[in-house]
């Protein structure tokens, strides 16, 4: 589904990704861990095509297509979804209206018919049930005045409606209390599918108790330096990143 090779990227003229390799197959859940400033959010931003992230070398193939050649809207329509570490507020824009516009823009790009409000509401109701979230959030402006937990839940809800092939979740667990964490994890688990893959950036082993990943990677200094299964996350929790630095003197 996704093959990243030797990816180098700059932000504000500074090289952040320095030869990153990663392969994700359909249905797999990959957790990405790593110290602050390692480039985890940069990776998500580069994959989704955010402004200001300049790729200087390497390739990203998504479902056989050169992802880097597509504009951000095309990437979204192809099925790449990024849930931001800090979800943006869009004051004055109704959440439901926003979501329907986003979904219909993607459908139009794919040559599918647009959903009228009846069909859209039906879809929304189905997804609300799966996510077990209150429809009160739908009637408010996008993320405006939402608590941290509500923003994260709203991102998962958006994901449920947009049904991406590749979902990139950037620290979706940070700042959540245990009930919200379980709810968000439940939503992600409900969306796990043999045709859908997840890249989950997290600092905490705890999330991986609820969303059990197929692979865990450590991103340090712009590269994936360790890969393993869930036990790698447990090891990190036990030894911290000093353990990574010891194993990789080249990172110093």
Closest to Mg ion by CB, 156 vs 201, is: 201
Binding status of residue 20 toward ligand ADP by CB under 6 A: no
Contacting residue, 14, 36, 91, 252, with Mg ion by CB under 5 A: 36
Closest to ligand ADP by CB, 38 vs 200, is: 38
Distance of closest approach, residue 11 Cβ to ligand ADP, in angstroms: 4
Choices 31-39, 86-94, 103-111, 178-186; region in contact with ligand ADP by CB under 6 A = 31-39
Residues 6+ apart with CB under 8 A from 12: 52
Q: Are 81 and 125 in contact (CB under 8 A)?
A: no
Closest to ligand ADP by CB, 13 vs 64, is: 13
Distance of closest approach, residue 138 Cβ to ligand ADP, in angstroms: 30
Pull the structure tokens for residue 185: 């994890």
Q: What is the DSSP string of 104-162?
A: HHHHHHTTPPPP-HHHHHHHHHHHHHHHT--GGGGGSEETTT--HHHHHHHHHHHHHHH
Distance of closest approach, residue 39 Cβ to Mg ion, in angstroms: 8
Distance of closest approach, residue 158 Cβ to ligand ADP, in angstroms: 21
In terms of Cβ atoms closer than 10 Å to its own Cβ (0-12, 13-18, 19+), residue 83 is: buried
Question: Long-range pairs for 133-139 at CB < 8 Å and ≥24 separation?
Answer: 133/157, 133/183, 137/95, 138/95, 138/96, 139/94, 139/95, 139/96
Closest to Mg ion by CB, 31 vs 133, is: 31
Interacting partner of 39 out of ligand ADP, Mg ion, none (Cβ under 5 to 8 A depending on kind): ligand ADP
Contacting residue, 3, 5, 10, 11, with ligand ADP by CB under 6 A: 11
Residue 8, classed as helix, strand or coil, is: strand
Binding status of residue 42 toward ligand ADP by CB under 6 A: yes
Stretch 77-106 residues interacting with Mg ion (CB under 5 A): 85
Binding status of residue 231 toward ligand ADP by CB under 6 A: no
How far apart are alpha carbons 120 and 53 in whole angstroms?
34
């Amino acid at each position: 589904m996704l093959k990243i090779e030797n990816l180098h990227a700059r932000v504000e003229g500074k090289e952040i990704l320095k030869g990153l390799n990663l392969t994700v197959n359909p249905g797999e859940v990959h957790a990405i861990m790593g110290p602050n400033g390692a480039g985890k959010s940069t990776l998500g931003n580069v994959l989704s095509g955010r402004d200001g992230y300049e790729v200087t070398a390497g390739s990203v193939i998504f479902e056989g297509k050169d992802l880097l050649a597509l504009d951000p809207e095309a990437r979204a329509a192809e099925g790449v979804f990024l849930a931001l570490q800090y979800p943006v507020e869009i004051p004055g824009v109704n959440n439901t209206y926003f979501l329907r516009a986003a979904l219909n823009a993607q459908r139009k790009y794919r040559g599918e018919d647009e959903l009228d409000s009846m069909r859209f509401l039906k879809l929304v109701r189905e997804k609300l049930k799966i996510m077990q979230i209150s429809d009160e959030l739908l009637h408010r402006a996008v993320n405006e005045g939402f608590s941290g937990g509500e923003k994260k839940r709203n991102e998962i809800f958006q994901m449920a409606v947009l049904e991406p092939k590749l979902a990139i979740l950037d620290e979706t667990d940070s700042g959540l209390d245990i009930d919200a964490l379980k709810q968000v994890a439940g939503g992600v688990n409900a969306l796990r599918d043999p045709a859908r893959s997840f890249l989950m950036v997290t600092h905490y082993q705890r999330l991986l108790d609820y969303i059990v990943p197929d692979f865990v990677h450590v991103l340090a200094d712009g590269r994936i330096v360790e890969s393993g299964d869930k036990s790698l996350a447990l090891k990190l929790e036990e030894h911290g990143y000093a353990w990574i630095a010891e194993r990789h003197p080249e990172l110093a």
